[in-house]
Structure 1
Amino acid sequence: MSKKYIEFIKWAKDNNWNVIDKTEYSLMLEDKILSRYKEIPTEYLEFLKMVKQLISPSEKTRFICENEYNNKSDIAFRWDEFEALSLEVAKDDEEWKMEITSWWNKHLPIVMSVNGGYSFYAIDLYNDKGSIVKGYEPEFEEVEKVANNIEEFFNLIMLNEIDIQ
């Protein structure tokens, strides 16, 4: 394992990101997350063991960390906010709502942004397992692949090939 996440955390600190390290190297995701997302890449889980909070210098983009996944955070947006917005749009269309929920069951959001509109990055856990995709409002479930895996995603951010402000 490359441990690119360690290099990324150092880079984030050196580039004025708001980084709060965890005091203990541990991770306690609630069962509802672990039962919904059974194959979270190890590299991302290791990253979550080290970081309590990671917010861009503009404060418009944040990585979703343990407290957010466990709904124990005071941020305005929940980790599954964009899924909730899509479900709200679907209203009483049960088939559409099932499609939305099914899509999100296969994509773990890892970054949320309000920079220039709502967008997110997620790990694809189904089609191209482990790849990172980006989605935008208003059609959150229409995504584009941006990296083959979490290590490449971290690297592209550090190289400024993915502008994540």
Structure 2
Amino acid sequence: MNDGKGKAQLREFMTWAEEQGWDVQRKSGSQLHLDSGITSRYKGLPDEYLEFLEVVETCVAPDEQTWFICEAEFNNSAETEFRWNEFEMLSLEAAAGDPAWESEITAWWDHHLPIVMSVEDGYSFYAIDLTTDSGAIVRGVEPEFEEVEKVADSFGEFLAWLMTNWNRL
């Protein structure tokens, strides 16, 4: 999103979210300091998503049931009930005692960075699929979080998709 179109798309999304009643807190600066556990595990994060994290402190839906995972959550410094990797932890809990299954789950999450979490109508998330060149966005739901469907080819497309589909989620 470091091009003019990407910045405009981000501004458009933030304006839309605020108009829809989302709690959008903008960061005072534009520095991004992600925990080394995130940066070492997730290589090649799309620039457009990193720019979102540079600008947005929090972004929470009006009903507080859906929210973007932002820098504070990734750095484990947010006061939230859910950890940024909550659904990976739940899957690993379910696989406890089965090393092969645990390994499979961890390997899957190594390539899928969760960016939005929801507790509306059960647990679900949106994640960046780092196995794709463009960083496609996928959606997973409980109980099989790792069985996902693609909703957008990129983070920018995801923001546009979200603005169009929010009332139908």
Query: Same fold, TM exceeding 0.5?
Result: yes
What's the CA shift string for 1:57-91, capped at 9, x where partnerless? 11000000000000001110000000000000001
What's the CA shift string for 1:68-123, capped at 9, x where partnerless? 00000111000000000000000110000000000000000000000000000000
Residue equivalent to 2:130? 125
**8 A Cα contact 1:132 1:147, kept in partner:** yes
The reply on whether 1:92 has 2:97 as its aligned counterpart is yes
The reply on whether 1:136 has 2:141 as its aligned counterpart is yes
For 1:138 and 1:127, the matched residues in 2 are separated by 24
For 1:145 and 1:162, the matched residues in 2 are separated by 19
User: Which amino acid letter does the alignment assign opposite residue 110 of structure 2?
Assistant: N
Residue equivalent to 1:43? 48
User: Which amino acid letter does the alignment assign opposite residue 106 of structure 1?
Assistant: H
Match of 1:109 among 114, 118, 121: 114
Aligned residue pairs total 164
For 2:166 and 2:38, the matched residues in 1 are separated by 30
Secondary structure at 1:112 match in 2? strand
User: Which amino acid letter does the alignment assign opposite residue 112 of structure 1?
Assistant: M
1:127 CA drift (Å)? 4.3
1:163 CA drift (Å)? 4.0
Secondary structure at 2:144 match in 1? coil
Q: Pairwise mapping of residues 1-165 of structure 1 onto structure 2 (< 5 A)? A: 1=3, 2-3=5-6, 4-127=9-132, 129-160=134-165, 163-164=168-169
1:129 CA drift (Å)? 4.4
**8 A Cα contact 1:156 1:162, kept in partner:** no
**8 A Cα contact 2:46 2:134, kept in partner:** no
Given the two structures, how large is their TM-score scaled by the length of structure 2? 0.93
1:128 CA drift (Å)? 5.9
For 1:50 and 1:133, the matched residues in 2 are separated by 23
For 1:10 and 1:154, the matched residues in 2 are separated by 12
Which consecutive aligned stretches of 4+ in structure 1 deviate over 3 angstroms post-superposition? 161-164
Secondary structure at 1:159 match in 2? helix
**8 A Cα contact 1:157 1:163, kept in partner:** no
User: Which amino acid letter does the alignment assign opposite residue 60 of structure 2?
Assistant: I
The percent identity for this pair of structures is: 53
Could you list the runs of 5+ residues in structure 2 that have no partner in the other structure?
Answer: none
